[in-house]
Each structure stands twice: as C-alpha cells, then as structure tokens.
Chains A and B, each alone.
Chain A
Amino acid sequence: MTEPLVIGFETSCDETGVGVVRGHTLLADALATSVAEHERFGGVVPEIASRAHLEAMVPTVHRALAEAGVAPSDVDAVAVTAGPGLTGALLVGLAAAKAYALALDKPLYGVNHLAAHVAVDELQHGRLAEPSLALLVSGGHSSLLLVPDLAREVTPLGRTIDDAAGEAFDKVARVLGMPFPGGPPIDRAAREGDPAAIDFPRGLTGPRDAPYDVSFSGLKTAVARWVEARRRAGEPVPVADVAASFQEAVADVLTAKAVRACRDHGVDHLVLGGGVAANSRLRALAEERCAAAGIVLRVPSPRLCTDNGAMVAALGSRLVAAGVAPSAPDLGADSSLPVETVSR
C-alpha cells in the first residue's frame, strides 16, 4: 500500500503556503508571500496579510498540485494550520482547507503551527527520534519544546516572556537602518563584525531565572541605547560589530538553554525550526555546542525553517499514520492555540 498523499495549508502570518507530501516525501512546497507589502510598516499588518492570502489561495493550490504532479482527486487527507497565528490570516487558510476537504470528501486535520515546524524536519532527515527537543524561533514564536510523541504529545518547556527572537532582529535592524525583515541583513552585516566587540546583556540567564524561558526585550533596548549614545556623541556606529554582537547574544542564550534542556531531560536529539533558525550564527553555535554535548542536531534547510505549507502537510501525514482522529466539521481557528494541542 502506498503512503497517504496529504495536502497542507498554512496562512498563520504573511506566507500563503500549500504543500504536498506522501509519507515523509516532499512533493511540493508552493509559497506566496506578502512580505514586501509589510516592509514600509516595519512589521506584518494583519489585514494586508489576510487580503493577500485570499488572493493567493487558489493559484497557490494549483501550483502545489502541478509541482507534485497529482490531481486533486489523488489527495487522501487535508491538513491546515488551526493556530496559533493571526486570526484573520488563519481563517483564510482554514476556510479554504475545509472547502477542499468537503469537495474532495477527504478527512481534515486542524494542526498546531509549532508542531508543524518540528514535523517538517522529517521530510529531510526521516523519522524524528522520540523524545526530541525542539527550539523554534521566528518573528512570531520563541519556544523550547519537549516532543515525546509528535502526533500526540508536545510539552512546552520554555518560551519568550516578551518579544519573539525574530522581533528583536526586526527592531535592531530598524535601529541600524536596515530593511524588514531584519534577520537576513543583520546576518549579512554580522559576517564583517566582531561578535565580542560589545557585551550585550543575556536575558534570563541568572541562577534564579526560569531555566528555559527567554527574553529579548532588554537586549533590544540595550542595543538601541548603545547605538543612540554613539549617535548623540556624534561618533560613527560600527554597524557590523553591533549586528555581530547582538546576534551572538541571541544565539548564545538560545543554544545554551536548548542544550541545558536536553541535558536536564536526558534527550539527545535537538531540532531547530522557525525563520530565525536560518541565522548562520545560531546554526553554527548550535552545531558546536551540540557536538560538545553529544547531542544530535537536526536543522531543516532554511527554506523549510520559515513558514510553508509542506510543514503542515508533514504533520498531517504524521497524524494520518498515527491513526489520530480527524477534526470535527465545526473546526475553527485559535489565534493562541496552546502548543500542547497538536491537532484539534
């Protein structure tokens, strides 16, 4: 028997993603993005994202099916991000997925966006070791998860208490006069800089702080203060050093906490995910520290780290294989869907 063909819909933020997988095999990953329309606002504008999702939806489905070389009637199951994310954006993908499931008479799985970020790695590196630890960092989330069973049980260990890691990148980029989103330009500028040039604070790393939570608000403010002080004094701002030192602080805190969580929970597999996992310094430092600690590190390619439909299809495929019950017909979106809810 061939493995089930699953189509996945993702619209939780500004990417309209439709992916197709068969088992753990990636067949298509069609993406449309409204990122350029948000640039002048310095962040994602929910209404602009929602309008763009609606416009892109059917054409993106067509591209995904064509890329996969399958017909709609070949689809065995439909998966969709049910949360967390922007409500208006989520609802476009949810309504579309429900309609395709109805029209194709196939089961529908409303899935958790965060668990999908973990599942996508199975498309590149095969079945996940269970338990694994997952570090998910993007403009929308910063979470440390324990994953005993990707289809049924995901436990949050820590998360950001203020800004997401990606937001800190966006804000620091703005202070330095770089475009939105801030991750790629900071990563580029940092290559020419000295990561030890400025000793920016590492939030929540004191002995009495929550061991797995993170905080980037203080770091972001410290960078802005440092840069503004330079400007007020009429001195040039060493952009590369600021970028490298800021990036180092983020990578240092995240990887230290992830490795500690692995040790504390006796887990020897770590998965990275989310847009910030595309950051070169985070990847390098994670490799270094995992190697030293005897942890197997799994990082999807940058394209699959950011939001896409394939990750949703990958989790859907996992749910089908595990025999998890499909969603009820009155499935809705939940902008703050708890990470423990893998599917609903």
Chain B
Amino acid sequence: MLVLALDTATPTLVAGVARRSAAGDAEVLAERAVPSGNRHAELLVPTVREVLAAAGLALADVDVVVAGLGPGPFTGLRVGVVTAAALADARGVPAVGVCSLDAVGSGARTVVTDARRREVYWAAYDAEGARVDGPGVVRPEEAGLTGPLVGDPRFAERLGAPVEPAEVTTAGLLHAAAGPLADPSSAGPLVPLYLRRPDAVPPTSFKPVTTA
C-alpha cells in the first residue's frame, strides 16, 4: 500500500511517500521537511510533487493519504488538512487523519510544540508510544509536564526542563495512523484539532456615536 503523508501543524511542512506492508511495516521512499514558516499554502503542492518525483511515483499510484490534524496554528494547519482531503477526494482514495503530536518522537515522552500566544500544545505518551494524556494547550510555566520532553526546544527555559529537538516525520505519521491504515474504511472525517475556540465576542450593545 502506497501512502502519501503530509503535515502542516508546525512551521516545518512535512510531506513524504512510504510503502506499507500488509504486516504494517513502513518504508519511507522519499520525504521533505521544509521550514516554510507561514508559506505552507505556497509550498505544499510543489513539495508533494517533489517527493513523488523523488520516489519515481505519480499521484495515481497513491492508495491512501495521511494528514496531520494538529493541534497547530489554525491557518497553516487547515492548508494541510484541506489539501489532503482534496487530493484523496480527487483520486477517489481514503484520507486518514492523525494527531500531529503523535508523529513527533517515539516511546515514553511528552511532546511540546509552539501554540503561539506564549503557549504550547502538548501530549504525553507511555513506553509503548501510546498517547495517555492530551492533546492540550497550556502556558509552559503552568504546564507541570513530566517525562522526557521532546519537540520545540525554544520552550525549554519556560518549561524548566530540557526539550530534545524533534519534528513531525513521515514515519511518525504512518506509525500514528497504523490503526486506520489497517482498515482505512474506519477512518473518520478530517477535522482539525483546534483546541481553542475562535476569538470572537458578540457586541454587548451598540455603541452610540454621539456622546450625550
């Protein structure tokens, strides 16, 4: 089974193609991690083209699309999610969504990524690599996160512990998607993990323009 995986939940855009055996073993054929900042929309499709070309494959060869659903900054995150949904729809293949944090590091760990607004997204995993807590969003100073921390090292000081640098990988995305990949018909819809509500406050009353 040929898998196209992509993720835009962090400033590093990830796209890769992998072959997954019936036994569940994944062999990554080509992968790109592009530090694209807020240019995910510009660079994602060219990057997908690149990895397919590097693997000597065409989109028509892809059997399933795996997408990181975040959590991540909303605007960039949506680019990856809608791209995965549209590619899968146009090719008539299933799309599988996974929590992007599941695709960072391996084994017992707590993953932290940049949630902006001076907060981090986080999730905790046991020795088997199964998520046991999170995903959540929190101020690093109030996080009280335990275990080896992996992810975005810029938060080490505010978390009060070292953070081993790690990013989303194609292998990580496939590992996180193991369940639904074994039975893609079990995959749910691609709904981003927003974790925050939209910033919007209804006006309490109309503000008069005249000051009486």
Task: Report which A residues bind B (CB closer than 8 A).
Answer: 40-42, 45, 47-48, 50-51, 54-55, 57-58, 61-62, 72, 87-88, 91-92, 94-96, 98-104, 174-175, 221, 224-225, 228-229, 232, 329-333
Contact = CB atoms under 8 A, between A and B. Distances in A.
B198 A54 contact: no
B41 A102 contact: no
B212 to A, nearest CB: 6
Contacts of B82: 54, 57, 92, 95-96, 99
B200 interface: yes
Interface stretch (B87-95, B114-122, B174-182): B87-95
Interface stretch (B43-51, B97-105, B133-141, B147-155): B43-51
A159 to B, nearest CB: 24
A99 B45 contact: yes
Contacts of A51: 74, 78, 194, 198
A103 B59 contact: yes
Contact of A45 (B41, B85, B194, B200): B200
Interface stretch (B22-30, B165-173, B202-210): B202-210
Interface residues of B, number: 39
13 contacts: A41-B203, A47-B200, A58-B89, A61-B86, A88-B75, A92-B82, A96-B85, A99-B87, A221-B209, A225-B209, A228-B209, A330-B43, A332-B39
Contacts of B212: 228, 232
Nearest to B59: A103
Contacts of A54: 78, 81-82, 192
A149 to B, nearest CB: 28
Given A50-B74, A50-B78, A94 B210 contact: no
A45 B194 CA distance: 16
Nearest to B212: A232
B183 interface: no
B84 to A, nearest CB: 8
Instruction: Give the 9 A-B residue pairs with the shortest CB-CB distance, closest first.
Output: A103-B90, A99-B86, A47-B198, A45-B200, A332-B42, A224-B209, A330-B42, A95-B79, A98-B45
Nearest to A57: B82
A104 B202 contact: no
B90 A87 contact: no
B199 interface: yes
B28 to A, nearest CB: 21
Contacts of B203: 41-42
A225 B41 contact: no
